[in-house]
Amino acid sequence: MSKASTERVLQDATERCRAVVVAVGRWEGGRYCPLLSGVQVGIVIERVVEPQASRDCKHGRLCLRARRRPDEGTAMTMRCWWWTAAMAMALPAGAATLPAGAAKVLPAGQSVMRVASADLTGDGRQDYVVALRASAEQTLRADGRAAPARTLVVLVATADGGVVEAARNTRVIFKADEGGQCDPFLDDEQGLVAKGAYFTVQNGVACGQHWTDYITFRYDRTRRAFLFHKRVIEAWELNTDDTPDADALRLSEHKEMKADPRKPVLLSDYTPAP
């Protein structure tokens, strides 16, 4: 979606909700990248600006500055929230495409949710990080059963143009029912991000609760393996400050867990601590 088209969508949401919220974001590659993890009931987007620099806008994501309307009731703000969430999630996040033949090396009974690509191993060829879910996931959930585990697979390119599986993990992509009202992986606008030797699994929710749980791995050329690099957890809570310019949410938790270089952990062995 173009910048102009995105602004029209946001303007439509503004007119419906009479918002007083300013969204600060960035345009990357001609694409607008929204972030809903900072959004709560009653917050909608009024306009979009392109900052020269902002310490709050990390990784090119959208940052929100908001104040609540004192004259609007809960019913109105709830309607605005759902309208804005629907509009924002409709914006395309962009994704890599798996090469022909990659399906042959993926686990059976799985369907692709998202793909990210980068030259992870540094050999000049594109490698792929693939998020998979059981093909029967939605059926199982509809029947009231627990959501099955999701699978992360790393495919590295070979000299003959093919790909081979280099690592697999069934714990770092959160299950569909581990986010309360939201899907903690699919409701994020990206889910997977890859750059250089690093890639990040982005879990997070923005309905009822507001938190993100980003887990990063890297390729180690010496060990020729993918290792755990860092985990960052953040959570937000309702801001009780009722001054007109107060942000609607405030950061309530920030934790960083970095890899111990003396005890490297393989991607296939990594399990997020509760």
Q: Determine how many CB atoms are found less than 10 A away from the CB of residue 179.
A: 23
DSSP state at residue 101: T
Q: Are 138 and 232 members of one domain?
A: yes
Q: Which of 63, 89, 115 delimits the end of a domain?
A: 89
Given a contact cutoff of 8 angstroms between Cβ atoms, the answer to whether 111 and 133 are in contact is: yes
Domain that holds residue 9: 3-89
Q: Are residues 123 and 44 in the same domain?
A: no
**145 within some domain:** yes
pLDDT at res. 78: 37
pLDDT tens, per residue, the chain with 274 residues: 344 444 444 444 444 443 333 343 444 444 444 443 333 333 334 333 333 333 333 333 334 333 333 344 433 333 333 333 333 333 333 457 898 889 899 999 999 999 999 999 999 999 999 999 999 998 988 888 899 999 999 999 999 999 999 999 999 999 999 988 789 999 866 799 999 999 999 999 988 788 999 999 999 999 999 999 999 999 999 888 888 777 888 899 999 999 999 999 999 999 999 8
Q: What is the pLDDT at residue 95?
A: 56
Q: Are 14 and 44 in contact (CB under 8 A)?
A: yes
| pLDDT the model gives residue 193 | 95
Q: Is residue 31 part of a domain?
A: yes
Same structural domain for residues 106 and 83?
no
**pLDDT one-digit tens code per residue, 148-167:** 999 999 999 999 999 999 99
- Residues 195 and 247 placed together within one structural domain of the fold: yes
Q: Return the pLDDT at 39.
A: 36
What pLDDT, on the 0 to 100 scale, is given for residue 238?
Answer: 87
**Last residue of a domain, which of 89, 123, 144?**
89
* 269-273, long-range: CB < 8 A, 24+ apart: 270/169, 270/171, 270/172, 270/215, 270/217, 270/228, 271/171, 272/171, 272/172, 272/213, 272/215, 272/231
Among 89, 118, 139, give the residue marking a domain's end: 89
Q: How many domains does the chain have?
A: 2
Q: What is the pLDDT of residues 188-232, one digit of tens each?
A: 667 999 999 999 999 999 887 889 999 999 999 999 999 999 999
Q: With respect to residue 234, please indicate whether it lies within any of the assigned structural domains.
A: yes
Residues 207, 112 within the same domain? yes
Q: Does some domain include residue 96?
A: no
Q: Do 110 and 237 lie in a common domain?
A: yes
Question: How many CA atoms lie less than 13 Å away from 236 in the CB half-sphere?
Answer: 20
Q: Is residue 274 part of a domain?
A: no
